[in-house]
Amino acid sequence: MSNQEENLIDVNHGTQLHKMHGDQKVLEQELENVFGRSWLFLTHESIIPNHGDYVVTKMGTDEVIVSRQENGDVKAFLNVCRHRGAQLCPHEAGNAKGFVCSYHGWGYGNTGELQAVPFDKEVYGGLLDKCKNSLHEVAKVENYNGFIYGCFDENSPSFSDYLGDLKWFLDPYFEHSGGLELIGPPARCLIKANWKCSAENFVGDAYHVGWTHASALRTGESVFTPLAGNSTPPTEGLGLQITSKFGSGLGVLWDAYAGIHDSSLINDMMQWATIKEQQLAEKIGADRARIYRSHLNTTIFPNNSFLTGSGVFKTWQPIDKDTTEVFTWTMVEKDMPEELKQRIAMSVQRTFGVAGYWESDDNDNMESETYMTKGFQARNKNLNAQMGIGNDVYNGKYPGVVCESAIGETSYRGYYRAYSAFINANSWHEIEDKSSNWADILTNAKTK
């Protein structure tokens, strides 16, 4: 392991070298150690409900086919023919019993097994071992309340253990609400930004909302409009910042379920959420029912981000050090009226779609962060994520390392502590070892 990766993150003081947003060697290490060992979002069960349904998606820079099996299970495979490495499936989604390579005609079942090879007996003499030439399968695939995640590393913990403390905050919305679904296909676009710029923003940055989105807030009349132009200073009791052992984190804005949506949706969404909160309080308690009705900005480490209530669900897929492909779905509750689902979907596209006005605001900043790493001096200077440092607690009222403030960078520090553990480890055993005292490290962090 080079000193370059070792020195990227100063975990004890909440700083990071700017070069992490614009260095190709760092990206290569990320693809091996971060994307190669993390749980990554693949698809939602509502998108591939039937036997043979499939989607082609990304795990880091690798294309994978995610396919529903005859027994109802889901498998994922590299979208690469085992013969000469050509792309196997050129389509984004569909239903198929199998896949045939357009180069030489090797055919695979949707189980990944190699089933047909042209002139097998004539040109291979019957010696080709089809079992040894099945598609490369993603080692682990798990379903979290309908959301399907995969991991290349067979030694990784379960997805539930990977989420850790964050699960306590997510389950009220993902499980106890009655379940969620994604409305697709996803909107897709390329931005000239490093993938981490967006992931870190969603993991815990409420600080930028009033400033970056001032115009959008004044125009859209959302529940966040009072923040426009930083005209209203943050006060105690507005929310929380939370991080977990393996870097997933979120921010809570209390009682702000309707999130980014404008006045045409606020009343209907808040009425919906208030009724369900009352139902959930009897089932999971008042504290967690309130979590459901609040607004959570979240990143599941490393690159899956979403806004509950707002219904924005994204992955940030690296193309190179300064290019990211953004996938955006709308996330809604299954038992919502269809008319409400469609109104939310339209609002998500207006705000966080390819040409969304919130999305455009954010992308300007993400691209600016990345562009500035082209400066030799700039890329070797530290970035500061020290907001709220010294106020983080563990074993308090809530799970995880928590700061009881709506605006802070607790989740940033937790994200990059885990990032440092991943990028500097050669196995899951090493990641676990580097994370054994993760909470102590974060709660004892201090400015220089």
Give the catalytic positions in this structure: 104, 205, 208, 213, 362
Report the distance separating Cα 151 and Cα 155, nearest Å.
Answer: 9
Element (H, E) at 265: helix 263-284
| Contacts with 282 (C-beta within 8 Å, 6 or more apart), sequence order | none
Please choose, from the candidates 166, 135, 153, 327, the residue with its C-alpha nearest in 3D space to the C-alpha of residue 246.
Answer: 166
Per-residue burial over 317-344, b if 16 or more Cβ lie within 10 Å, else e, is bbeebbebbbbbbbbbbeebeeeebebb
Element (H, E) at 10: strand 9-10
Q: Is 102 exposed, middle or buried (0-12, 13-18, 19+ CB in 10 A)?
A: exposed
Is 58 strand, coil or helix?
strand
Element (H, E) at 410: helix 410-423
Asked if residues 234 and 406 have their Cβ atoms less than 8 Å apart, the reply is yes
| Assigned token pair, 358 | 């919130």
Widest distance between CA atoms in the chain: 77
